[in-house]
Structures are given as C-alpha cells and as structure tokens.
Amino acid sequence: MGKSIAVENLRAWYGDQLTLKGIDMELEANRATAIIGPSGCGKSTFIRCLNRLHETVPHSRVEGEIRLGDEDLYRMDPVDVRRVVGMVFQKANPFPMMSIFDNVALALRLNGIRRKRELFERVEKSLRMAALWDEVKDRLRDPATALSGGQQQRLCIARALAMEPDVLLMDEPTSALDPGSTLRVEELIEALKSSYTIVIVTHNMQQAARVADRTAFFLNGELIEYGDTATLFTKPADPRTEAYVTGRFG
C-alpha cells in the first residue's frame, strides 16, 4: 500500500544555483499527483529529491524535510529509501547486458530472493502489473534491448514494481514514446494508482489531466499552485497557472 509524503521547506541546489526555493507540499497516499511546469522549473529536481537521487549529482545539496509516512526520509539510509520509493525515468533504461527476466529479477536477487519458484512468481507478477507479460512471456531470455521503446519503458516500470515500493516516481515517463505506447503507460498508471502513491512529472498537460487526481504547478523553483486536477485546469487561482495551462507560455 502507498504511503503519503510530506515535504517541508525543501530547497535544492546544483552548485550555487538554487533550483528549488522552499517547497511545502503534501502528497496523498494511493493517489496520482502530477507535477507540471515549464522546462527548468525544478519539477525533475523535486521528484529526484523524493528518492534522494538528487544528492548523487556532483556539487548538489538539499535542505528541508521530507516525511514518508511517519519516517524522516533524510534520516534513512538512501539505499533503503530507494527500495521503498521506486522511479521510472524519461529515457527507458533497462540494463542492456541483461535478459528481460534478469532486468526484473536482479533487484529481487539482491534482496535475498533466491528460490527459483518465488523469483519467477515475483517477476511474472511484476510483468503482469506492468501489462507486459503477454508480450514477453515466450521470450524472457531475450536481451532487454530487443524490446520496442514502449515495451522497454514498461519493463522499467515492472522492474520498479518488483521491489513492491510504497511510492512510484515517474519522470516524464512517456516523453520518448509514441502515442500508442503513451496510452498504454497511462492506462497502467490508472490501474496502479489505487495501490501506490504515484508522482508523475509531465510536460503534457492533457496527460496530467487524464491520469492525475491532484496536480501541482511549478515555476522557477517554486510551487505556484496545487490542487485537484480538474480545478487547477479549469479554475486556476493564480494568474501564472492560468497563463501556463492555457498555453500562453512554457
């Protein structure tokens, strides 16, 4: 089951550049939250703070507090954080030297699941959840790179789901996909959001409107507006939000 995330006065730097200027935000459990905003607004940095990936970048820095359920994210071991907060990237990044099966099984093996039967069941379950099973069940030993772009991205989702995370972060997961694959990933988000807390960064406002329960608008490292998706798109409270969602900039 998903957990809620509470962000308090989150500030993040790349070198001297302040990319997040104090974000306060509550992300609800078992809901999909979309983060929208123009390029460079800090939305990717924001979700990369939620699994503590931001701090792996040279010369980066983070301040503030993030609570996952009732735990302080920045007091946990970052490796443990990433085991409960999964992530899917903009560019599908299945491990190229591994088979489809091993891409999903690797992290499970590293977590001590060794028995073949259990491993296979978990891999199958994850691939089914990612709506990929039927397409790959007969070629699990093929290299992951033999899959199409959309399939690779769903493989990455399956890989993240195999860890049974509480939260699933998605950083523009469909921006490199064709419309058909995009639709399949969106359907997937729809199906997953009842059991995971999903945070999706997107450039595509229709996508936010389609999949997200709540939407947040970021601009220049600040959270401008955050609310129910329908409200944010139809009756934005802030003129800057209105300008962005009506396509006047960004």
What's the gap between Cα 6 and its chain centre? 16
Q: In what order do the strands lie in the sheet with 32-36?
A: 85-88, 167-171, 197-201, 32-36, 214-219, 222-228
- When the beta carbons of 81 and 198 are compared against another protein, the nearer one is 81
The one among 7, 130, 160, 211 contacting another protein by CB under 8 A: 160
CB of 78 to another protein, least distance (A): 9
Instruction: Choose the binding region for another protein from 88-96, 128-136, 218-226, 240-248 (rule: CB under 8 A).
Output: 88-96
Query: Does the protein bind another protein through residue 163 (CB under 8 A)?
Result: yes
CB of 107 to another protein, least distance (A): 5
Query: Does the protein bind another protein through residue 82 (CB under 8 A)?
Result: yes
Alpha carbon separation from 71 to 38, 56, 96, 178 (Å, rounded): 31, 21, 35, 39
* DSSP secondary structure string for all residues of 130-157: TT-HHHHTT-TTSBGGGS-HHHHHHHHH
Residues 91 and 152: their CA atoms lie apart, in Å, by: 9
**Near another protein in 128-157, by CB under 8 A:** 156
Q: List the x/- string, 90-129, binding to another protein by CB under 8 A.
A: -x-xxxxxx-------xx--x-------------------
Query: Does the protein bind another protein through residue 176 (CB under 8 A)?
Result: no
C-beta of residue 43 within 8 angstroms of C-beta of residue 23: no
Number of other CB atoms surrounding residue 59 within 10 Å: 9
Binding residues for another protein (CB under 8 A): 51, 53, 56, 58-59, 79-83, 86-87, 89, 91, 93-98, 106-107, 110, 156, 159-160, 163
